[in-house]
Amino acid sequence: MHLLVSLHVMANLVWIGAITCVGWLLATRAKEADPALAKASADLALRIYRRLATPAFGVSFVFGVAALAANAAYYMHAHWFHGKLTAALVVIALHHVLGAKARRAASGGVQGGGSSAILTAGLLASVFAVVLFVIFKTDLVP
């Protein structure tokens, strides 16, 4: 059980670092005056999304589901888990939104840098909520 959770957390570290880089690259791309550098930033964002963020998300998801399946009764009755899962679903949704923005930017679409920065900040705030639920889980038990 601890091995599954450890692998889940390790994949999360890679995933969140990578998707944060994608959001940062998209936000800075919009401020780039040189079109060649803006295109390079968009291409790099898409490459990181496809080659690092998405595989790490997949690994995280698989090990998270495996840990849940291994001890479903515990997690379904743990009050903290429902908040953690809700915040994690927000992170997953923002991951996909940033990925779609990266695909559009790499194909030459105009992307709002401000919205990418806001989405990335929202992603990190949601990750922080996940972390709080996990760290303070013993304080959340009635």
pLDDT digits (tens, 9 = 90+) for 118-134: 999 999 999 999 999 99
Taking only the tens place, the pLDDT of each residue in 50-101 is 999 999 999 999 999 999 999 999 999 998 999 999 999 999 999 999 999 9
pLDDT at position 7 = 97
CB crowding 98-121: b at 16 or more within 10 Å, else e: bbebbeebbeeeebebeebbebbe
Q: In terms of residue numbers, what domain contains 107?
A: 2-140
pLDDT at position 139 = 84
- Give the alpha-carbon dihedral of 21, 112, 30, 15, to 10 degrees: 10
96, two tokens:
């996909």
Model confidence at 113: pLDDT above 70: no
Taking only the tens place, the pLDDT of each residue in 24-48 is 999 988 788 888 999 999 999 999 9
Q: What is the pLDDT averaged over residues 104-130?
A: 88
For the chain, what is the domain count?
1
CB crowding 26-43: b at 16 or more within 10 Å, else e: bbbbbeeeeeeebeebbb
Helical H segments across 30-112, by residue range: 35-48, 54-70, 72-77, 79-106
Q: What's the pLDDT band for 18 if we cut at 50, 70, 90?
A: very high
pLDDT at position 112 = 60
Q: What's the pLDDT band for 111 if we cut at 50, 70, 90?
A: low
